[in-house]
Amino acid sequence: MNTTEPRKLFLYARKSTDDLSRQVRSIGDQLAELHELARRDNIAIVEEFIERQTAKKPGRPIFNEMLARLERGQADGVLAWHPDRLSRNSVDAGKIIWLIDTGVIKALRFPTYWFEPSAHGKFSLSLMLSQSKYYIDNLSENIRRGQRQKVKNGIWPLVAPVGYLNDRLAKTIYPDPVRAPLIRKAFELYASGTYTIDRLVKVVNELGMLGRNGKPLFRTQYHRILQNPLYCGIIRYSGEEYEGKHQAIVSKELFDNAAEVMARKSKPKTPTLKPYLYRGVFRCGECGCFITTETQKGHNYLRCTKRVKRDCSQPFVREQQMGKQITGLLRDIALPAENADSMIAALEVERDGDTASRRDCLLALQTKAHALDAQLSRLTDAYLAETLSLEEFRDTKAKLIRQRLELKEKIATLEANSGNWFEPAIRFVKAAKSTAFLAETGTEEEKRDFLKKVSSNLTVRDRRLHWEPRGAWKLVVDSGSFAQHNTAPGLPGAVLAGEKYQIHIQRRSWDSNPGDPCGPTGFQDRRIRPLCHSSGSCSKP
């Protein structure tokens, strides 16, 4: 189109926010072709409008500004590389057609498409804009379908969350060697129950946790991390849960512990409270209220809050005096070094006799895992046969997936700890042996934390500390030492001090509960020869 007076048009170039390799034409390519077309057809470019935003949804600011200036008569039309650069949605497409109908847009020029403002031209342009919308809609559906298929195969389909990295070749995710240990540390600290979210943010960020933008993570980001089952190997996608094939950063047990703490803490502790040593540790032995701490004349005193019984008669007790009582308690429950050494040696010998039981347990767990796989398959068939609703299918599937993951972790633990079933017992004996060292050289915080591990129902009455031993430590308190017993009584739920999480010792024989043939036992129902007298004399069972 060569005329004596050039037609005045706006130049519009756009690309979406996708990766450069997925763009049909870059901004530079579009500008080069459009300037060549303008020179060849004698087009005067009034102004260039360059935008980097998808046209899938209406609301592009630069595009809307260009249309507003067209309505003010500052140009005759638009010069673009293709109609899909102008619109990929029905709102913008309709506005373009309307501006052509009203004469606001007198010309549209494209290097690969011819347009004239006639009935046929507008019909053809409408088809092109509709085709552009169909392309983006179909592309979105194909992407979602591909993501659903990936999830069913146990592959995370999106950008890896903090703590993972994307493997572009294998199309999966793997733990970030820098951030994954910090994510695991965050779960461990929060699951301990002594950290609020705000304190967790401060501690983990100080350890070096940074997001992809190089900035520390915020409180809401940690909250999402602690609630995301992806970190324990479960993919949650569109309301359903799937077993992921990626490497888990935390165990299912640790994730559940953190979730339990989050559910229990309806109100986090106020971060402005004074960091007293024994805040929230003790209760009053008379009325059951919490023991609080206050400072008087430079000394910290523990006293009953008296919220239930105003006339509670319990007196104050100085913080230093309570620390001395805890130190004495640790000395009392310490295990003599010579006894501990003989027990550890005997435990290591007896450990070798459990291979058959381990094999039976492993076979039982694998059989149960295969049964769960069959249940999942039948559940899917029932849903496809429309005998189950979508809600029933999702709920039942989520339960089976979690059970399958728990079994998988038990099998992995059993296989990884072949011949090491007595390690928790050995660690317990070592912890009991090291208690004397902790009493003499440990900090007040370390002694307090150790006391909370080995005891429950901590109360203060008449300025004296009262406590109940927890789990296996009850044996220490009841006997005074391990040397007087050759069998350990049943200790359900024994917690091994010194360990952040208990590694379950498996039974030699089948459990009475067929639901879990290899349940945790601690020292329950097991004759342990190291608990004999240090002289080596034991009565036979």
Mean pLDDT, residues 241-259? 88
The domain ranges of the chain are 7-144, 164-264, 316-541
7-144 shares its CATH topology with 164-264: no
Task: Give the per-residue SS3 of 342-372.
Answer: HHHHHHHHHHHHHHHHHHHHHHHHHHHHHHH
Q: What is the pLDDT of residues 267-287, one digit of tens each?
A: 545 555 677 888 888 999 888
Closest CA to 254 of 500, 450, 493: 500
> Residue 339: what residue type?
N
Q: What is the pLDDT of residues 88-98, one digit of tens each?
A: 888 888 889 89
Quick check: 482 pLDDT over 70?
A: no
Question: Count of H helices and E strands in the chain?
Answer: 16, 14
- pLDDT at 16 (0 to 100): 76
Candidate from 67-71, 346-350, 455-459 with smallest mean pLDDT = 346-350
CATH of domain 164-264: 3.90.1750.20
Give the full edge-to-edge strand order of the sheet including 455-461. Answer: 283-284, 455-461, 464-469
Quick check: 79 pLDDT over 80?
A: yes
* CB contact at 8 A, 116 and 100: no
Quick check: 524 pLDDT over 70?
A: no
This prediction has a pTM of: 0.40
Quick check: 101 pLDDT over 70?
A: yes
* CB contact at 8 A, 289 and 283: yes
Mean pLDDT, residues 173-192? 90
Closest CA to 129 of 46, 58, 52: 58
Quick check: 201 pLDDT over 60?
A: yes
Structure token digits, residue 86: 């102008």
Provide the mean pLDDT of the chain: 78
How far, in Å, are 258, 262, 267, 270, 274 from residue 196 at the CA level?
Answer: 11, 9, 9, 9, 14
Indicate the pairing of strand 77-79 with strand 107-109: parallel
Candidate from 17-31, 127-141, 362-376, 451-465 with smallest mean pLDDT = 17-31
Structure token digits, residue 311: 């006339």
DSSP string, 439-480: HHH--HHHHHHHHHHHEEEEEEETTEEEEEE-TTHHHHHHHS
Candidate from 39-48, 138-147, 312-321, 407-416 with smallest mean pLDDT = 138-147
- pLDDT at 85 (0 to 100): 87
DSSP state of 208: T
**Coil, strand or helix at 333:** helix
User: Per DSSP, which regions of 177-244 are E strands?
Assistant: 234-237, 240-243
CATH of domain 7-144: 3.40.50.1390
- pLDDT bracket for residue 113 (50, 70, 90): confident
- pLDDT bracket for residue 525 (50, 70, 90): very low
In a 13 Å sphere around the CA of 283, the CA atoms on its Cβ side amount to 12
User: Per DSSP, which regions of 26-79 are E strands?
Assistant: 43-52, 77-79
Quick check: 502 pLDDT over 70?
A: no
- pLDDT at 520 (0 to 100): 40
Quick check: 125 pLDDT over 90?
A: no
Mean pLDDT, residues 515-528? 41
- pLDDT at 498 (0 to 100): 36
How far apart CA 155 and CA 239 sit, in angstroms, is 16
**Residue reference for tokens 């917690």:** 495
* CB contact at 8 A, 406 and 243: no
**Residue reference for tokens 């046929």:** 120
- pLDDT at 352 (0 to 100): 65
Percent of the chain with pLDDT over 90: 13
Quick check: 210 pLDDT over 70?
A: yes
- pLDDT at 126 (0 to 100): 84
How far apart CA 16 and CA 11 sit, in angstroms, is 17
How far, in Å, are 305, 308, 464 from residue 298 at the CA level?
Answer: 20, 28, 22
> Residue 500: what residue type?
K
Quick check: 534 pLDDT over 70?
A: no
- pLDDT at 6 (0 to 100): 64
Closest CA to 436 of 340, 531, 534: 340
How far apart CA 93 and CA 112 sit, in angstroms, is 19
Quick check: 519 pLDDT over 70?
A: no
How far apart CA 411 and CA 417 sit, in angstroms, is 10
Mean pLDDT, residues 188-212? 88
Candidate from 1-15, 206-220, 222-236, 471-485 with smallest mean pLDDT = 471-485
How far apart CA 15 and CA 54 sit, in angstroms, is 7
